[in-house]
Structure 1
């Protein structure tokens, strides 16, 4: 029996159960209106637990799900893993244990993976498409080496110009990029000169995170989730571009201070904070299976102490200095073939020497961003930053900076 036929059978069974429950609740099919049978609202009905698939022996179920997770290594077949987690609660609980974080598995499976650090010792290849007409940017996971393939959609951002700053609203939904949306997960805000940027997370990245009060801080309504959970502005990174006061021509120089990541994370055996679940979501828009808790044995040790106690040890990233190519008459960096078009926006970020690192750790590229087409840019990142943080840092490069170039 194929996996596709199993899913079809499950959909049919769940649909019939839902219809039966609907008919019983509203008395459909009863001959006498005065003798209708109504479901007691005080007794919850778990449709997923009524499915026969929830009664599979745990040992057999675990073996089946482990085989599926191991066989579906890349998208689009990876969607079968997501479907399995939505069959019933038993399947979802087992998937919590099987599916690992990107740090360990090098895979992006569920939306919470976008908030977790990338893989160690290898760059996760993505690309960004820019839509000039509506000032929107879309992040995709590359399915192959081509940058113009139909990748897996990850995040979207919309540029909002204001009199004193520029905001980039980041969302999980490419069709609803607004701060009032239930899929809003953070934003990027610039200063007036667009030389300094702050990355805000909608939820605390660690136990010691402090919310920044502003008029834009909102609360999730009771209709969305109960109890009410604040969707605040938690600063997780500060990006600055050096002012070019002399007007000399040259590449941009940028620095990123990662408020939520300690400098020790890039050392051998170092640990970066790992978010395990979304604190708020609109269940009518996204099923709960997409926001489940993903276990990681390496993330628990860091959360024992708040990050505020390690304020002096924040991770600092600087752009790698390019070299001048005499024959080409331009500044060059080795992007290993991932960048094909010269642009002032291109950069590579490495750990700053002030973090106390030296040798190979200092030379490892943590994030690289570059142009490959008119509105197509590659974005490759790795541990200890997440896809959300990498995307926000790359968005800062799109703004025109008169004082820097």
Structure 2
């Protein structure tokens, strides 16, 4: 008993000292990281350190306080490894903590609430994690995308940094590309979504506007989703009809116990310090193998998402969907996506909304998603809805 009390007392003191250290410590490169191994923080007893970090992680259960969890992971390598073990993936915790969280599937039991802000003057879109129940709060910045028009297509470059929007940047994580009509889109991931994924051919340099960008890190183009909008041949106005084929995600992922591929780490280019964003990135790229049917040898085929059919409201004279109060403005862009059941199958898992997107202001839209898709995939799908589609409306 006395030992336990003494341990708790020491833990409280260490937690207080840790909060002060987090404010003083900054992320450095590998050489500085090795130097921290000799500091008093790195030489703490492992049992005590683990208990302290567990208490910090459990107490800081939402942003902005959750930045202390990230702060602990930046102290030194031993702290980082322990914190990576403690922090659970979004599908389990429902929390987005490190940058890789935006590439991991969302929670299984509920929708993770986010919102998108559009800046028309620069054709830029910003994704935020909702911090309150308000339809548009200050939010926690997650991703940014910028639209680049080309003669035959349109590209949306998606980045972890709102000020660095090039494919050659180390903050680049993927892109969305449309065809000429804006009716078909392909989502490309900068990292392989699973072992054995094939990269599409691309040039080593890209032209963004009038600026030539030479990549500083190897950025791949791995197709992870195909989005198509159905052509409206009759010319009657009505809701858009869309379909999303999620190539690396098996259809069985929506079943009880089903699994989807989960990226676990970001690569870090040699000679580059850790990025100055309120997350940290680890230094190798790998994918967690959830089980059979997750990788290339999918047995049951890829997950197919389709928009949930709205109903016609006679009094309002419009098409309606139940967004549970998350959408307030009628728009042709609004949609809800559910999984398409295989032939002859049915069940409640095919009624669950996996992604919903809708308008709440002139340039503000809510985006809520859940397992088995990630924030990055959900954001890319929503970006496809912003394009004007004369042939579909």
Q: For this pair of structures, how many residues does the alignment match?
A: 369
Alpha-carbon distance in structure 2 between the residues aligned to 1:265 and 1:305: 9
Alpha-carbon distance in structure 2 between the residues aligned to 1:2 and 1:345: 51
Instruction: Report the counterpart of residue 291 of structure 1 in structure 2.
Output: 281
Instruction: Report the counterpart of residue 97 of structure 1 in structure 2.
Output: 85
Superposed, which structure 2 residues align to 1:201-240 within 5 Å? 201-215=189-203, 230-240=218-228
Instruction: Report the counterpart of residue 300 of structure 1 in structure 2.
Output: 289
Which of 13, 20, 23 is the matching residue for 1:8?
A: 20
Alpha-carbon distance in structure 1 between the residues aligned to 2:232 and 2:318: 18
Whether 2:78 is the aligned partner of 1:66: answer: no
CA-to-partner distance for each residue in 1:287-329, whole Å, 9 max, x for gaps?
79712389x9x94343x77733227610000000000000000
Alpha-carbon distance in structure 1 between the residues aligned to 2:204 and 2:233: 34
Question: Match of 1:354, SS?
Answer: coil
Q: Give the unaligned 5+ runs of structure 1.
A: 19-42
Alpha-carbon distance in structure 2 between the residues aligned to 1:79 and 1:356: 47
Superposed, which structure 2 residues align to 1:161-180 within 5 Å? 161-180=149-168
Alpha-carbon distance in structure 2 between the residues aligned to 1:50 and 1:316: 52
CA-to-partner distance for each residue in 1:202-261, whole Å, 9 max, x for gaps?
01010021101123678xx9995xxxx631110000000000011011100000000010
Determine if contact 2:267/2:283 at 8 Å carries over to the other structure.
no
Alpha-carbon distance in structure 2 between the residues aligned to 1:161 and 1:290: 32
Determine if contact 1:256/1:318 at 8 Å carries over to the other structure.
yes
Instruction: Report the counterpart of residue 312 of structure 2 in structure 1.
Output: 324
Whether 2:136 is the aligned partner of 1:124: answer: no
Identify if the C-alpha distance between structure 1 residues 291 and 189 changes in structure 2 by more than 3 Å, giving closer, same or farther.
same
The alignment yields a C-alpha RMSD, in angstroms, of: 2.7
Instruction: Report the counterpart of residue 336 of structure 2 in structure 1.
Output: 348
Identify if the C-alpha distance between structure 1 residues 392 and 88 changes in structure 2 by more than 3 Å, giving closer, same or farther.
same
Alpha-carbon distance in structure 2 between the residues aligned to 1:311 and 1:169: 32
Question: Match of 1:369, SS?
Answer: strand
Instruction: Report the counterpart of residue 23 of structure 1 in structure 2.
Output: none
Determine if contact 1:106/1:119 at 8 Å carries over to the other structure.
yes
Alpha-carbon distance in structure 2 between the residues aligned to 1:378 and 1:167: 22
Question: Match of 1:350, SS?
Answer: strand
Superposed, which structure 2 residues align to 1:234-273 within 5 Å? 234-273=222-261
Instruction: Report the counterpart of residue 189 of structure 1 in structure 2.
Output: 177
Determine if contact 1:159/1:168 at 8 Å carries over to the other structure.
yes
* CA deviation after TM superposition for structure 1 residue 47, in Å: 1.8
TM-score (norm 2): 0.87
Alpha-carbon distance in structure 1 between the residues aligned to 2:35 and 2:214: 24
Identify if the C-alpha distance between structure 1 residues 346 and 223 changes in structure 2 by more than 3 Å, giving closer, same or farther.
closer
Runs (4+) of structure 1 exceeding 4 A deviation are 1-5, 9-12, 221-224
CA-to-partner distance for each residue in 1:263-307, whole Å, 9 max, x for gaps?
01111100100001112457335179712389x9x94343x7773
Identify if the C-alpha distance between structure 1 residues 357 and 128 changes in structure 2 by more than 3 Å, giving closer, same or farther.
farther
Larger radius of gyration: 1
Alpha-carbon distance in structure 2 between the residues aligned to 1:179 and 1:201: 11
Question: Match of 2:372, SS?
Answer: coil
CA-to-partner distance for each residue in 1:82-114, whole Å, 9 max, x for gaps?
000011111111111100110111100000000
TM-score (norm 1): 0.85
Determine if contact 2:229/2:392 at 8 Å carries over to the other structure.
yes
Alpha-carbon distance in structure 2 between the residues aligned to 1:44 and 1:81: 20
Alpha-carbon distance in structure 2 between the residues aligned to 1:114 and 1:387: 5
Q: Give the unaligned 5+ runs of structure 2.
A: 1-12, 207-212
